[in-house]
């Protein structure tokens, strides 16, 4: 049985193994094992150590509370058992902590939104950035990915050929770096007047089949948005709107999200939104969209190391079951 950790509380040092807990402190030990099984974590992991520290601290505080209450005769008229179980219930609810974002990916996640091709947009700048980011994505549980450089005529004037050439060259160089995991390249299209003309004449880079990733300005929607969405579908494409939660101008006008869905738009959640990376307001809207079953897919939208680091955060939302469902929807893009 492995060593669990050392904890100093009120001048007393505790050294725990999971066996010690089960034999000498069975309630805490069983509670720990129950939590570990429920949350699917190793009883000997650092997460388990932190949880047992919380349990022991809570217990110590309770003992102090009873001692002080007795000395001041505060609890003379109150049923001790009732108070004890109330506090225990509060402690239990505290243990129901939200999961870490990376733990929701569980090793077989298919990412459909990232900026990993070197020197082509605001994502990876060099091949070493690409190598590092791909390695990090694998560590957090991404098994396959379709990277999506921006195509925004007035800012990142990439063409499908430029992206495909970069993808071919990068794949070769990555093989030289012993990274053989295959990955695909598509694009994230910015919806503007140029895009409106472009897809009528040129073939788009799609995520799979006719699914095309689109975005718009964070300041405002294009005036002709619904015309673009209509024409795009007439041209045979299915629009997947990237990070709808990040368009602040829709937050106080939630009905617009419903209008977009009715107009045939699929929604792709940026996973970092639920970890609060873009702020509390965006996390709240993502929860609202989740609860309303409006998301279809998810993406990491990883550009740099800070994005990777945010996967170490716990999610800030309560709708984790809905979140797991749309994470698993990405299996549709498996190649």
Q: Computed over its alpha carbons, how large is the radius of gyration of the chain? A: 25
Q: Which stretch binds Fe ion (CB under 5 A): 89-97, 103-111, 117-125, 299-307?
A: 299-307
CB nearest Fe ion: which residue? 301
For Fe ion, which is the closer residue by CB, 35 or 308?
Answer: 308
Tokens of 272: 């970092």
For Fe ion, which is the closer residue by CB, 4 or 186?
Answer: 186
Least distance in angstroms from the C-beta of 161 to Fe ion:
20
* Residues composing the chain: 335
Shortest CA distance to 19 belongs to which of 9, 10, 7, 28?
28
Q: Which stretch binds Fe ion (CB under 5 A): 16-24, 30-38, 131-139, 293-301?
A: 293-301
Query: Is 121 among the residues that bind Fe ion (CB under 5 A)?
Result: no
Beta 142-147 vs 184-185: how paired, if at all? Answer: parallel
Least distance in angstroms from the C-beta of 116 to Fe ion:
11
Residues numbered 185 to 204 that lie near Fe ion (CB under 5 A) are: 188
Query: If residue 110 lies in a helix (H) or strand (E), which one and from where to where?
Result: strand 109-111
Q: How many residues bind Fe ion (CB under 5 A)?
A: 2
Helix (H, G, I), strand (E, B) or coil at 249: helix
Least distance in angstroms from the C-beta of 205 to Fe ion:
14
Residues numbered 160 to 189 that lie near Fe ion (CB under 5 A) are: 188
Shortest CA distance to 47 belongs to which of 171, 38, 9, 331?
38
**Residues 158, 147: contact at Cβ < 8 Å?**
no
**Residues 59, 21: contact at Cβ < 8 Å?**
no
For Fe ion, which is the closer residue by CB, 301 or 322?
Answer: 301
- DSSP code per residue over 253-315: -THHHHHHHHTT-EEEEEHHHHTTTT-HHHHHHHHHHHHTT---EEE--B-SHHHHHGGGSBP
For Fe ion, which is the closer residue by CB, 32 or 310?
Answer: 310
Query: Is 301 among the residues that bind Fe ion (CB under 5 A)?
Result: yes
Least distance in angstroms from the C-beta of 274 to Fe ion:
16
**Residues 109, 142: contact at Cβ < 8 Å?**
yes
For Fe ion, which is the closer residue by CB, 36 or 213?
Answer: 213
Q: Which stretch binds Fe ion (CB under 5 A): 20-28, 168-176, 246-254, 298-306?
A: 298-306
For Fe ion, which is the closer residue by CB, 5 or 160?
Answer: 160
For Fe ion, which is the closer residue by CB, 121 or 287?
Answer: 121
Least distance in angstroms from the C-beta of 101 to Fe ion:
17
The footprint of Fe ion (CB under 5 A) covers 188, 301
């Amino acid at each position: 049985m492995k060593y669990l950790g050392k904890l100093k509380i009120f001048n007393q040092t505790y050294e725990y193994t999971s066996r010690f807990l089960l034999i000498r402190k069975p309630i805490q030990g069983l509670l720990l094992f129950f939590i570990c099984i429920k949350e699917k974590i190793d009883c000997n992991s650092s997460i388990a150590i932190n949880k047992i520290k919380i349990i022991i601290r809570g217990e110590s505080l309770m003992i102090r509370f009873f001692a002080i209450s007795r000395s001041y005769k505060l609890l003379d008229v109150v049923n001790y058992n009732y108070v004890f179980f109330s506090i225990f219930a509060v402690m239990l609810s505290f243990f129901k902590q939200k999961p870490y974002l990376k733990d929701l990916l569980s090793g077989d996640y298919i990412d459909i939104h990232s900026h990993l091709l070197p020197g082509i947009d605001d994502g990876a700048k060099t091949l070493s950035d690409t190598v590092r980011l791909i390695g990090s994505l694998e560590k957090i549980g991404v098994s396959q990915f379709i990277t999506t450089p921006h195509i925004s005529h007035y800012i990142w004037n990439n063409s499908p050929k430029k992206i495909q050439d970069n993808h071919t060259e990068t794949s070769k160089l990555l093989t030289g770096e012993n990274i053989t995991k295959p990955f695909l390249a598509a694009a994230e299209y910015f919806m503007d007047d140029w895009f409106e003309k472009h897809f009528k004449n040129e073939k788009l880079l799609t995520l799979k089949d006719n699914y095309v990733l689109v975005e718009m300005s964070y300041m405002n929607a294009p005036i002709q948005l619904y015309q673009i969405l209509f024409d795009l579908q007439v041209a045979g494409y299915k629009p997947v709107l990237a990070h709808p939660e990040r368009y602040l101008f829709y937050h106080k006008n939630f009905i617009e999200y419903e209008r977009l869905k009715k107009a045939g738009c699929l929604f792709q959640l940026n996973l970092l939104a639920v970890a609060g990376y873009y702020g509390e307001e965006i996390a709240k809207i993502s929860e609202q969209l989740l609860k309303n079953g409006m998301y279809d897919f998810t993406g990491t939208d990883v550009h740099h190391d800070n994005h990777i680091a945010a996967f170490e955060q716990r999610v800030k939302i309560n709708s984790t079951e809905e979140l797991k469902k749309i994470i698993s929807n990405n299996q549709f893009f498996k190649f």
